[in-house]
Structure 1
Amino acid sequence: MSKQRRNRRAPSQPSSEPAIERSATKPRRRDRSANRPGALRRLAFPAIFLVAGLAGIAIVALSLNSPADAGDAYASRPVLGETSAPVVIHEYGDFQCPSCGAFARSIEPQIRATYIDTGRVKLVWHDFAWIGPESRDAANAARCAGDQDKFWEFHDVLYGNQAGENAGAFAKDRLKAFGASIGLEPATFDACVDANRYAGAVSADFADVRDKGFNGTPTFLIGDQRIVGAQPFETFAAAIEAALATQ
């Protein structure tokens, strides 16, 4: 499998009052966010990970156990779609990752319309926050938004406002402004962001990613297949249809 270097571009300095972009699509959502930050040890984040490019198909059969079989550890994760949906997509993403943003803005809406909104698929989120401190701050803030049942709205706002890496685009003041833009109760949300309430949960997700040996964002598990990168919708549809056929 070829690996392509993650695209980097020099960001302009973000203003303190961000111009917030939001997704035009508003699919039906069910928000179940992790409610236990945990008291987990701090992890050392590797300096370099390889990020999957936008081109090329990367699907691998899995020999590892599916996260769906991991028990209660996954029951409180952010979930998009009906709980009764027969097929699960597990997404491992970083809010600063350009390929993750491309998937969220261009491919995920097609998956939502075709499979999630029709009750056949649900999407489960896992934090793969490796790019730097703003990745971890954004992941924490998204879980804080989940406390008010708005994880997925916050997810969309983050991916609509990517602007470089660790350059202030996801500074805490901007994260708070994003929260205000989607109607979060500010005192509760801001306190959660400032306290890094879910830092332990975000670190635990990273430990899980490290144990699985994943080295690209975004990574997806669908049934017994793994997809790496913002692949075309048809690639995801083929994996989903194969999983549906086993139900």
Structure 2
Amino acid sequence: MTRRRARWIGLAALAVGGGVFVSAVLAMSQRLRRLRDAEPVALHYFIPISADEFEYLGRPVRFETITPEGRPAFVRVRYGEATAALPILGLDVPALGPIERHQDWMRVLLLAGEAGESADPARLMRDGGAGSRLIVAARGPAPGLDADTWGEAHYKDWVYTIITFDPDGSLDEQRVTYRDLLSEQHSWRFAAAMNVTPALHTPAMRSSSPISYPNFGPVRRAYAAMGWTWPAAGVGALGVMVGLLVLGASLVKTPAGADPAA
């Protein structure tokens, strides 16, 4: 093959590969934009509460760590006349303070709602706000297993207790597993639960390895949305590389004394 012919082949591969790559990337961006518009990602801003006594929507709130003799310890939650009890199933470090002592497995959070990072916590505690709510998120080990061994290892069966303080003075208590929450990764419940989930076991961290990353729900949906565009972009990029290699080879000068093939 003459250098001239190789040069034309390289230019053709470069042009075709570049055209395919650009077209695929443009189509890919449009598909991903449609996915983003169809599944908007909600950003939930939480304000941590460290006080064990305060008022919310005009009602007193109090947290007490109860350690009865001969019985398991628990955290009692009071909201006006309503009460709830959370068994202590994680670390308890009294030296850290009344709420922080349980931060390994329980958090008290004020969801800012629509106000986001510009929210005034004092106003939200007093008057509430659109999408705002006071939450207790607690994490427990997989039921039926030893809390310190297999119950901690079987993270997909962890049970989360989500308590919300309703405007009518009641406490709404819900229990969901880690596995259940994976189906609602844009919800405030999921975001609240991740506040008491070890970083190693959050979906984003568990998907950070090349093996597990494609199994992360948002990534699977993105691959599905891209469809033919991402393999086409790969083929186009390969065509560009081949074209550059052939074109570069055609520009190499023949060493002195060699039989030129031009």
TM-score range normalised by the length of the shorter chain: under 0.3
- TM-score by structure 2 length? 0.22
Structure of greater relative contact order (alpha carbons < 8 Å, 6+ residues apart): 1
Higher strand share: 2
Bigger share in helix: 2
Is the radius of gyration larger for structure 1 or structure 2?
Answer: 2
TM-score normalised by the chain length of structure 1: 0.23
